[in-house]
Amino acid sequence: MSILDVQGLRMYYSTLKGDVKAVDGIDLKVEKGEALGLVGESGCGKTTFALSILRLLPWNGRIVEGSIKFHDTDIVSMDEKEFNKDYRWKRLSYVFQGAMNALNPVFRTGKQIAEAILLHEDVEKDEAMDRARELFSLVGIDPERVTSYPHELSGGMKQRAMIAMALACNPEFIIADEPTTALDVIVQAQTLQVINDLRRKLGLTMMLITHDLSVVAQTCTTCAIMYAGKLMEYADIDTVFSDSKHPYTQALTSAFPSITESRRELESIEGAPPNLLDPPQGCRFNPRCPYRMDICTEEEPGFIELGGGHSAACHLLSKR
C-alpha cells in the first residue's frame, strides 16, 4: 500500500529572471514501511520536492501541476487549516537540515519539543514535558537534558533532539533532510543508528534526503536518484549499487569507494548541473553524459520498467 503517491509534480520558483524549474514532472510512490533515499547533487531539487510534500515552500515557490496523495487524500488542494491541524507534524513530519541552527538558542530544548506537542495535541503542559523526556530517551539522550539549552548539547545530541521533535506527534511518515551533513563521521554513524532503530521500533515510513550515497546504503531500503529537477532511476538499494542502468547513477556510484575493490580509482562527474532557469532540451543529463546520442538532445527519455520495481529514464535502455 502506498502511503505517498506523487504524480506529475512540477514545482517552480518565481525569480526576476523567470521560473526556476526546481521539480519538473516527478512521479514517485512510497510504500508503507519503506525507507527511501532521495539522492542527488546540491541544487537538484530534492529539498524542494520534500518541502512541497509538507507544503512548506518559500513565498516565491509554487506547485504548478501534479498531485501529492497521502493515503489517497490529495494534500495539494487541501485547505491550509485542515492540513496544519491534521497532517503536518501529526501524520507527516520533517527533520530539517542544519541541526546546529534549527533549535531556538534562547529556549530550553525540552520546552521547544513540548511546545510542538501543545500546538497539535490536547494535552496539559506537564504531559507534554513528560512526552519530551520520553522522546529524549527514545533517541538516546538522558531525559534530564530536556532542561538544557541548545548550546549545552553536542552536535550529535542537537541532531537527535531535532529527530525527537519531528517525532513529537507520533507521525507515520518522516522526511529527514541531510540529517548527518554537519556531523563528524563517528557522530554521523551514531545518528544513522538512531534513525535505523527508530524506524524499526516505531514502524516509520521514511524519506531520507542526501547527496551522500553512503548514508543511503546504511539506512534505506530503496533509492530514487534525482538530477536537475527530474528522477533518473529508482531501485532497491542493492540494485542501485550493483546493477544501476542510468549513466548518472553509475557515475555517482563510481565516485563512491568500495571495500571489495581495492585501489579502485574514484571517478568524478565532469561538468556541473544545468541552470534550471533554462534546462537543456531532451535528457537533462546530456551535457555531462559520456554516452550521449543525437536523440538525447532532442527527446526527453521516458521511464522504462526494468523488472523487480527497478526503473530508469534513459534512451540507451529503449535501444536494448
Contacts with ligand SF4 by CB under 6 A lie at 247, 283, 285-286, 289, 291-293, 296, 301, 314-316
CB closer to ligand SF4, 13 vs 285: 285
Measured distance CA(287)–CA(283) in Å, rounded: 9
CB closer to ligand SF4, 138 vs 313: 313
Phi then psi dihedrals of residue 218, to 5 deg: -85, -15
Nearest-approach distance from CB 21 to ligand SF4, in angstroms: 17
Comparing CA positions, the residue from 26, 78, 33, 63 lying closest to residue 227 is 26
Task: Give the start-end residues of each E strand in 159-229.
Answer: 173-177, 205-210, 222-227
CB closer to ligand SF4, 182 vs 295: 295
CB closer to ligand SF4, 61 vs 247: 247
Q: In what order do the strands lie in the sheet with 18-31?
A: 18-31, 2-15, 61-70, 73-74
Nearest-approach distance from CB 120 to ligand SF4, in angstroms: 44
CB closer to ligand SF4, 205 vs 286: 286
CB closer to ligand SF4, 15 vs 318: 318
CB 250 within 8 A of CB 244: yes
- How many residues appear in the chain? 320
Nearest-approach distance from CB 295 to ligand SF4, in angstroms: 7
Phi then psi dihedrals of residue 48, to 5 deg: -60, -45
Measured distance CA(34)–CA(3) in Å, rounded: 9
Nearest-approach distance from CB 189 to ligand SF4, in angstroms: 33
CB 229 within 8 A of CB 12: no
**Antiparallel, parallel or unpaired: β 230-236 and 310-313:** antiparallel
Comparing CA positions, the residue from 204, 207, 234 lying closest to residue 33 is 204
Nearest-approach distance from CB 299 to ligand SF4, in angstroms: 9
Nearest-approach distance from CB 217 to ligand SF4, in angstroms: 23
Nearest-approach distance from CB 285 to ligand SF4, in angstroms: 5
| Number of separate helices (H) and strands (E) present in the chain | 11, 12
Comparing CA positions, the residue from 93, 63, 81 lying closest to residue 3 is 93
CB closer to ligand SF4, 224 vs 314: 314
